[in-house]
Structure 1
Amino acid sequence: MADFMALDSQAHQNTGWRPAAHYAFAAQHSVVPIVAAELADTLATMPIAWVKTAEERFQLVALLTLVPGQNVFVHPQSHKWIAGYTPLQFRTYPFAMLPVEGQPDKRALCIDRDSGLVESTDELGVHPFYESGTHSDALKPIVAQLKHAEQNRIATQKATDALAAQQLFTPWALKTKNKAGEVIPLNGVYRIDDEALRQLDVEAIQALMQADALAIAYGQLLSMKRTQVLAQLHQTLAKQQPAPSATPEDIDLDDMFGENDDSLFRF
């Protein structure tokens, strides 16, 4: 489990990090938070959804699996990313911008101390966090990416909150079966209720437009067909692993789009 600590120019002046050589740290992630700026890239291969945070707010995520605890975009042996867009949160690991304790509106640059990537700058191949008391040249582009993502995260959350205010989220019934015929649900995942979206009045639609939420809503609905990509990746990995927990023939894709047969997004 990740254990993030805030970086400090004094405490970490002789410390640095090795860039992650693979994505083993993400191999068991079922979802990954994304921001609206990543939406277009993500839609090419991944379904978009929402999960609830500890604060009971909805958070925009990309779906990485149909089986809990198995990220099908990470190869089980090499731990390389094997298909499509790599979300920013994974590309900037082991760094993250996280809330300061007691100051939830303030963010600090943090690093996962349990990543195995934090080492003394005396070691070869280690990039320093700081040079002359300021962020090193190696760290600056990562900080810039994280700051941009943080700004977009605020806008993305505003859009998500606007969708939640219109009660547009509904549980997404994602489930598979194992070889024994047991149902394996992927719980806690939400999608847009397209019927509820179509029934919104003009005032509600305008509110969503002002929050830049409509594009995200329709993007999520269109992305639902990307569950087929997940099924294909499950099938590919199943051929390389003995006794897989679920295989594509166990996955009922039709069951994943709800019961609304006249949906605009069913074909």
Structure 2
Amino acid sequence: MTDDASSDAGQGAEGAARLPLFYKSFAPLDPNRHGKLRLKRKGDYGFARQSSIVPLLCIEFGLAQKHYPIIFTRNAPHLPMALVSYQQNKNPLVQADGGWTPGRYLPAYLRRYPFALVPTSRESNRLALCIDEQSGLFEEGAEGLFFDGDQPSEKTQELLAFCREFDRQLTLTQAFTARLAELDLLEETRIRMRHAESSMDLQGFMAVSEKRLNALSDEQLLTLRPNGYLPVIYAHLMSLAGEQSVASQSKGVAQLAQDA
């Protein structure tokens, strides 16, 4: 299946140099090759069991900040991530059956997998709805298939619409982080986990500097208002303040470390 678009779709947090996080392959969804395929079951997020971060879109900050610290990658384009665990290579929010812990926000990036819109070639702005054939999330069946004959099923049309909207929001997110970089608002920082008798620093990511934000001129601040960037920034900062629900996974209290 193909779709016309001009966005850098399907690249996610990892960029064009390699496959996005969790993806092992991309294969265009095709009725001849995948006509009898369907998802094994909805809501299996076992693929994220060993990931402590999940890519996030700006539109999600308002909900996600209630559950996770929101950080930015150190390298450009400084895409936002939800810190879903303080334990490296372990995500306790993924339950034994692959389900996501009830009551915790489920990022759109996880809901999109194992699908994505991917350019059909480096030179083309035409996109194909692709699947990760190596995800282990597909099976053959008689109902709930991706195609009705040689035409996309209603389910597939819904998947296509979701992926289109995801890529639109990704483009807006990239514009947001580019503006943060232009204003030099991001600084490398760390989160300190305090336990009863010890502490542990999590570092290697970026966050908005409140000091730099407060130092912006009125003219610069006004440039953040038309696109709704200020509420997004404040949601990010709120996610780093106080104890987060994710902190309880390690039975510690999370604090944004302040360097002397």
Q: Same fold (TM over 0.5)?
A: yes
- Structure 2 counterpart of 1:116: 136
Look up the equivalent residue of 1:95 and give its one-letter code. Answer: F
Tell me which of 21, 24, 33 is aligned to 1:11. 33
Partners of 2:250 and 2:47 in 1: CA distance: 19
Aligned: 1:44 with 2:66: yes
Instruction: Please give the per-residue CA displacement for 1:33-62, whole angstroms capped at 9, x wherever unaligned.
Output: 121222222122111111146xx3110221
- Structure 1 counterpart of 2:79: 59
Q: Secondary structure at the match of 1:231?
A: helix
Please give the TM-score of this superposition, normalised by the length of structure 1.
Answer: 0.76
Aligned: 1:156 with 2:173: yes
Partners of 1:175 and 1:106 in 2: CA distance: 45
- Structure 2 counterpart of 1:198: 214
Partners of 1:206 and 1:100 in 2: CA distance: 39
- Structure 2 counterpart of 1:208: 224
Look up the equivalent residue of 1:156 and give its one-letter code. Answer: T
Tell me which of 111, 114, 131 is aligned to 2:148. 131
Partners of 2:91 and 2:242 in 1: CA distance: 15
Partners of 2:169 and 2:115 in 1: CA distance: 17
Aligned: 1:79 with 2:98: yes
Deviation at 1:90, TM superposition (A): 1.4
Kindly indicate whether the alpha-carbon contact (under 8 Å) linking 1:48 and 1:62 is maintained by their aligned counterparts in 2: yes
Tell me which of 87, 96, 103 is aligned to 2:116. 96
Look up the equivalent residue of 2:216 and give its one-letter code. Answer: L
Identity %: 24
Partners of 1:193 and 1:145 in 2: CA distance: 33
Structure-2 change in CA distance of 1:101 and 1:70 (3 Å): farther
Kindly indicate whether the alpha-carbon contact (under 8 Å) linking 2:68 and 2:244 is maintained by their aligned counterparts in 1: no
Partners of 1:194 and 1:132 in 2: CA distance: 56
- Stretch deviating more after TM superposition (146-155 or 169-178): 169-178
Structure-2 change in CA distance of 1:145 and 1:232 (3 Å): same
- Structure 1 counterpart of 2:14: none
Kindly indicate whether the alpha-carbon contact (under 8 Å) linking 2:43 and 2:98 is maintained by their aligned counterparts in 1: no
Count of residue correspondences: 237
Please give the TM-score of this superposition, normalised by the length of structure 2.
Answer: 0.78
- Structure 2 counterpart of 1:258: 258
Q: Secondary structure at the match of 1:173?
A: strand
Instruction: Please give the per-residue CA displacement for 1:69-93, whole angstroms capped at 9, x wherever unaligned.
Output: 2223223x34332241111121232
Partners of 1:86 and 1:111 in 2: CA distance: 20
Instruction: Please give the per-residue CA displacement for 1:227-266, whole angstroms capped at 9, x wherever unaligned.
Output: 531121233xxxxxxxxxxxx3xx6x34x24248xxxxxx
Q: Secondary structure at the match of 1:155?
A: helix
Instruction: Please give the per-residue CA displacement for 1:155-179, whole angstroms capped at 9, x wherever unaligned.
Output: 121111101111111122135599x
Aligned: 1:166 with 2:183: yes
Aligned: 1:147 with 2:164: yes
Partners of 2:107 and 2:124 in 1: CA distance: 24
RMSD: 2.9
Q: Secondary structure at the match of 2:204?
A: coil
- Structure 2 counterpart of 1:33: 55
Structure-2 change in CA distance of 1:229 and 1:3 (3 Å): same
Kindly indicate whether the alpha-carbon contact (under 8 Å) linking 1:173 and 1:185 is maintained by their aligned counterparts in 2: yes
Runs (5+) with no aligned partner, structure 2: 1-21
